[in-house]
Structure 1
Amino acid sequence: MLWSLIKIVVFVLLVAAVTFGADYLMQIEGGVRIALMGTEITLTPLATVIGLAVLLISLWVLLKLASLTVALLKFINGDETALSRYFDRNRERKGYQALTEGMMALASGEPRVAMSKAAKAEKFLGKPELTNLLTAQAAEMAGDSKKAEEVYKRLLSDDSTRFVGVRGIMKQKLAAGEEVVARQLAEKAIALKPKHVEVQDTLLNLQTRAQDWSGARETLSLKLKQGSLPRDVHKRRDAVLALSAAKAVLDTDESAEALEAAVEANRLSPDLVPAAALAARSLIEKGQGRKAVKLLKKAWEAQPHPDLAAAFAAIAPEESPAERLKRFQPLLRLKPEHRESKLVLAELNIAAEDFPAARKALGDLISEDPDSRALTIMAAVERGEGSSDTVVKGWLARALNAPRGPQWVCTNCHNIHSDWAPVCENCQAFDTLSWQVPPAGAVDSATGVQMLPLIVGALEEAASPEAVEAAEPAQDDPAPDVADVSEAEIIPMPTDHVIDDPDTPRQAANDGSK
């Protein structure tokens, strides 16, 4: 309000001053006489002032026209002028507008429009570091890999965009299945930007697929150094890589180096079952049984596992079943309530032909958490105690349809592996295998219910354990061609289990039945 009032007052004062000046000039006598080429002009004071003002304005206009003419000539000559700067600003505005529209089209899933806008932006801006990246991404979205790779190669010529070009070509090679070239490009990319987490993971994945364990360990150390991997995870994965290196060395019969790698893997991660088993077997071959026992006990306390029990049995392969049962007691007492401890104890008692103790060792596994291994052991117990073939085959019928128990399962894709491996053979994920029960429905039995008539003669006989126990021993087997098939032939026990000795009760029971 005050500012408006001030402006009004100033305007009124200016008008008053002009009016007063004009009145003063009109009252002054005399004037200005101009004589030019025989012509004489006399001007009043007021006319003189007006003429001077017009003359000054005309001179200013002439100077501006001259300046414009000079600028136009310089513009035509290619020099930088106000006109060139004006047109440059206009082109820049249009270029950034096209670039913005191209980015919006890319985000909207319109790759062809994005490529067109990128070409327009390149025409106006002349900044390939911006427009080439947009073009490459749009070409990737459109499925034009050849165009995308061509554009990424252009980015290699500039230091500021070289990493983007290498990474883009690496992804193209990965999509094309050229993993060797992709791994080389990943190494170059990681040299340009060591802190880039995505490239670190890609390089580590490619190195593990190529079984480049030493290179993978270097990449893993880099991830730890750059802070992209927790220390405990690094320790675990470094142990996995050391174990993989040990297995690779073992395949070349270099037992000394394999022993060192296996022991290192076990030191890094004592709960890694394959590392403990391999290190223990390597120590056993070197005659260091005491160290193997100590190592296996520590691993068993972390996670009981059949491979650990098999390695513990290999310490004294010539011992009798009774001696083995006695030697296993300190190991089994570490985790007496664990499922694996109960199963191993039952197998050891079967090997020692103490079938009531084997039944007692199984405890409530048969009723609460039965699997094919527990039910097969129960069938062996029944056979050892002299039960009829119908009862034994009934247990085996249940074993055929029962879950297989814990296995090496990939936590990423749930694929089941017969043996541990550092990389999942299905999804190629690294360090995802875990000893666990597969998800429901992940495993379909190869035999299933269709095998029941071959085992017990009729599905009704295998309906329940009570029905099987209550059934009278059949004198005439309805399927004589399979009547003499033993449970070991139907569901063979795993070869690495503790009870797979020459004097197993299953074999003795089979011999007795014959």
Structure 2
Amino acid sequence: MIRILFFVLLVLCLALGFAWLADRPGELSLIWQGQLIEMSLMRAASILISLFAAVLIVVWLLRTIWLSPHTVTRYFRSRKRDRGYQALSTGLIAAGAGDANLARKMAARTRNLISSDQEPLIHLLEAQTALIEGKYDDARKKFEAMADDPETRELGLRGLYLEAKRLGANEAARQYAERASEKAPHLPWATLATLDHRSQARQWDEAIRLLDQSRAAHVLEKNEADRKKAVLLTARAMERLDADPKSARDDAQAALKLDDRLVPAALVAAKALFREENLRKGASILERMWKLDPHPDIARLYVRARGGDSALDRLKRAKKLESLRSNNAVALATVAEAALDARELALARTKAEAAARLEPRESIFLLLADIEEADTGDEGRIRHWMAQALKSPRDPAWTADGVTSPVWLPVSPVSGRLDAFEWKAPPSQIAAATEDGHLNPDQAIRSLPPVATVPRPVEEPAPERTVEAAPTAERDQTERERVERERAGPEKAISVPDRKEPAASPAKGKDAEEAPDPFFGRPPDDPGVREPAAAERTTTNFRLF
């Protein structure tokens, strides 16, 4: 474009010059070797310009004739190079597509057309061809040659790293990644691989230093770098918690500044503060994290923050957590557990049932089974809750690469990846009872009158009595219910609806007929185990007709 503009400008200048001379006519006289030469000024200018153009043309012709051998050689060399690059491009595409035959053919053609010293990508094509053909030793030799060349060092180290990972040689892979990160700290794969290896070796200080270098080189994004550094600080704080609680507290608080939703960092910071007897500040950290993410580990640590608290004190702290995050299944389950420890069984049952309605989980139904055992001791109802626990989804757990851990870990034990654990529900082992694969809590819990508590009196020896065997299973169940009512007494007797009583006992009163059913208005799935000892102490006569 610049040349065209220059040519147009030159022509314009010549035209303006000739126009200027035409407007100002004149005569030019020249005496040369005794001869007088006279001509007009316009003719003299035209002759001068023509002579200059002729000289340029002659020079161009001479230069072209002189340089013609070199021009011809350069033409054929360029044509050969173009054919070589075309073969190289075709070979790389074939290697990426998995066509080993075409890749090998193009690699040989490229070798004949282009020198490997001029184009290092020929080594890459040959290495990829060897990998496709399964010649891993040849591919490794090619990658080693590339690693020795400063121009292809990073490419060769990456190939060696991938081969070492494929063979399971983690130590060799670590060395290749460290070499690459030292020579080129801007490579993300080398930085992340070295970071994972140092994390596996629990070299937290070195890992943090490497992460700071990669962040300064803009290898990682700001959010990702902050998250990984928070995880590393939390891991170092967990390691220092027993020996140096103060340093652990500082690292955990620094991690919370980088990521305020990192639950393990809040737990470590709170534990360190509790060991320093700073209960108020540790509790405030847990409360702030609880508002963001109601985690069961936070609730467990918050409720048992003080070792000398009684069960009622722990119940008060659990209720405070519920007030901070109401209508939450984790908060309700926490209150239910604390109420069970405090022997406030009615409150425990109410909160556990509410938690089961919000989020039916395995642990909640197991908690209901514990409450049932402490409240009524009925084996049938306990087995009912156990069955619901088997049908319900599993509780969330720290999961990474298909494995679960009871506690959070900074590195995956399977892949060695940093920050791999997530709080999520593992895959269910047993399908739910409903068609859509989810447990319907209304089928497990009915909103009916509360369960009456059945006291357990002290058993006294009784004289031997004869028991007539019931001919059917229904009579066995009726006998068991009669035994329970006789043991409970007339004031605590419980009536079961939709069951036919053989005969009314004179000891039963009006209160016994209006008492609510202990199993939400319907019989349990499993009536329980018959107590032979109680049956032997009771004489029951059945009227068959």
Sort the TM-score into its range (normalised by shorter chain).
Answer: 0.5 to 0.7
Cross-structure match for 1:117: 106
* Aligned pair partner of 1:424 in 385, 405, 412: 412
Residues 104, 318 of structure 1: CA spacing in aligned structure 2 closer, same or farther, 3 A cutoff?
closer
Cross-structure match for 2:95: 106
- The residue type paired with residue 438 of structure 1 is P
- The residue type paired with residue 138 of structure 1 is T
Residue 230 of structure 1 deviates from its aligned partner by: 3.5
1:49-88 CA-to-partner distances (Å, cap 9, x unmatched) read xxxxxxxxxxxxxxxxxx99xx9xxxxxxxx956755664
Tell me if structure 2 keeps the 8 A contact 1:170–1:185: yes
- The residue type paired with residue 399 of structure 1 is A
Mapped pair 1:202 → 2:205: no
Mapped pair 1:126 → 2:181: no
* Aligned pair partner of 2:287 in 297, 300, 303: 297
Mapped pair 1:164 → 2:164: no
Residues 125, 442 of structure 1: CA spacing in aligned structure 2 closer, same or farther, 3 A cutoff?
farther
* In structure 1, C-alpha distance between the alignment counterparts of 2:378 and 2:430, rounded to whole Å: 34
Q: Secondary structure at the match of 2:277?
A: coil
* In structure 2, C-alpha distance between the alignment counterparts of 1:297 and 1:435, rounded to whole Å: 19
1:402-481 superposed matches below 5 A? 402-410=392-400, 413-441=401-429, 468-469=523-524, 474-476=529-531
Tell me if structure 2 keeps the 8 A contact 1:394–1:468: no
Cross-structure match for 2:383: 393
Q: Secondary structure at the match of 1:221?
A: helix
Report the more deviating stretch, 259-268 or 124-133.
Answer: 259-268
Mapped pair 1:319 → 2:374: no
Residue 240 of structure 1 deviates from its aligned partner by: 1.0
Report the more deviating stretch, 171-180 or 91-100.
Answer: 91-100
Residue 202 of structure 1 deviates from its aligned partner by: 2.9
Mapped pair 1:277 → 2:267: yes
Cross-structure match for 1:340: 330
- The residue type paired with residue 263 of structure 1 is Q
TM-score, scaled relative to structure 1: 0.66
Tell me if structure 2 keeps the 8 A contact 1:394–1:465: no
Report the more deviating stretch, 233-242 or 292-301.
Answer: 233-242
Residues 306, 368 of structure 1: CA spacing in aligned structure 2 closer, same or farther, 3 A cutoff?
closer
1:385-434 CA-to-partner distances (Å, cap 9, x unmatched) read 22422222322232244333221233xx4543322112233344432322
Residue 347 of structure 1 deviates from its aligned partner by: 0.9
RMSD after superposition: 3.4
Residue 378 of structure 1 deviates from its aligned partner by: 1.3
Cross-structure match for 1:358: 348
Residue 440 of structure 1 deviates from its aligned partner by: 4.2
* In structure 1, C-alpha distance between the alignment counterparts of 2:256 and 2:275, rounded to whole Å: 17
1:231-276 CA-to-partner distances (Å, cap 9, x unmatched) read 333322211111112223347x344433432333334333222221
TM-score, scaled relative to structure 2: 0.62
* In structure 2, C-alpha distance between the alignment counterparts of 1:423 and 1:90, rounded to whole Å: 55
Residues 294, 172 of structure 1: CA spacing in aligned structure 2 closer, same or farther, 3 A cutoff?
same
Residue 474 of structure 1 deviates from its aligned partner by: 4.5
Number of residues paired by the alignment? 383
- The residue type paired with residue 404 of structure 1 is R
* In structure 1, C-alpha distance between the alignment counterparts of 2:115 and 2:526, rounded to whole Å: 91
1:153-199 CA-to-partner distances (Å, cap 9, x unmatched) read 22234322222222222222222222223223223223333333333
1:124-273 superposed matches below 5 A? 124-128=113-117, 129-250=120-241, 253-273=243-263
Tell me if structure 2 keeps the 8 A contact 1:209–1:423: yes
* In structure 1, C-alpha distance between the alignment counterparts of 2:379 and 2:135, rounded to whole Å: 67
Report the more deviating stretch, 334-343 or 86-95.
Answer: 86-95
* In structure 2, C-alpha distance between the alignment counterparts of 1:145 and 1:201, rounded to whole Å: 25
Residue 321 of structure 1 deviates from its aligned partner by: 0.9
Residue 376 of structure 1 deviates from its aligned partner by: 1.8
1:294-349 CA-to-partner distances (Å, cap 9, x unmatched) read 11111211212222223223421122111222234333311122111100101111
* In structure 1, C-alpha distance between the alignment counterparts of 2:365 and 2:334, rounded to whole Å: 13
Residues 126, 333 of structure 1: CA spacing in aligned structure 2 closer, same or farther, 3 A cutoff?
same
* In structure 2, C-alpha distance between the alignment counterparts of 1:121 and 1:113, rounded to whole Å: 12
Residues 307, 117 of structure 1: CA spacing in aligned structure 2 closer, same or farther, 3 A cutoff?
same
Residues 230, 104 of structure 1: CA spacing in aligned structure 2 closer, same or farther, 3 A cutoff?
closer
1:107-156 CA-to-partner distances (Å, cap 9, x unmatched) read 44223442343233223311341211211122222222211121122223
Residues 156, 388 of structure 1: CA spacing in aligned structure 2 closer, same or farther, 3 A cutoff?
closer
Residues 338, 155 of structure 1: CA spacing in aligned structure 2 closer, same or farther, 3 A cutoff?
same
Residues 101, 237 of structure 1: CA spacing in aligned structure 2 closer, same or farther, 3 A cutoff?
closer
Mapped pair 1:373 → 2:428: no
1:204-233 CA-to-partner distances (Å, cap 9, x unmatched) read 333333333333333433443344534333
Q: Secondary structure at the match of 1:364?
A: helix
- The residue type paired with residue 252 of structure 2 is A
Report the more deviating stretch, 331-340 or 431-440.
Answer: 431-440
Tell me if structure 1 keeps the 8 A contact 2:154–2:184: yes
Cross-structure match for 2:84: 95
Tell me if structure 1 keeps the 8 A contact 2:410–2:421: yes
Tell me if structure 2 keeps the 8 A contact 1:209–1:428: yes
- The answer for unaligned runs of 5 or more in structure 1 is 1-66, 72-79, 445-457, 479-514
Residue 285 of structure 1 deviates from its aligned partner by: 1.6
* In structure 1, C-alpha distance between the alignment counterparts of 2:418 and 2:336, rounded to whole Å: 35
* In structure 2, C-alpha distance between the alignment counterparts of 1:217 and 1:324, rounded to whole Å: 39
Report the more deviating stretch, 237-246 or 327-336.
Answer: 327-336
Tell me if structure 1 keeps the 8 A contact 2:197–2:416: no
Report the more deviating stretch, 286-295 or 181-190.
Answer: 181-190
* In structure 2, C-alpha distance between the alignment counterparts of 1:94 and 1:470, rounded to whole Å: 82
Residues 187, 443 of structure 1: CA spacing in aligned structure 2 closer, same or farther, 3 A cutoff?
farther
* In structure 1, C-alpha distance between the alignment counterparts of 2:430 and 2:127, rounded to whole Å: 41
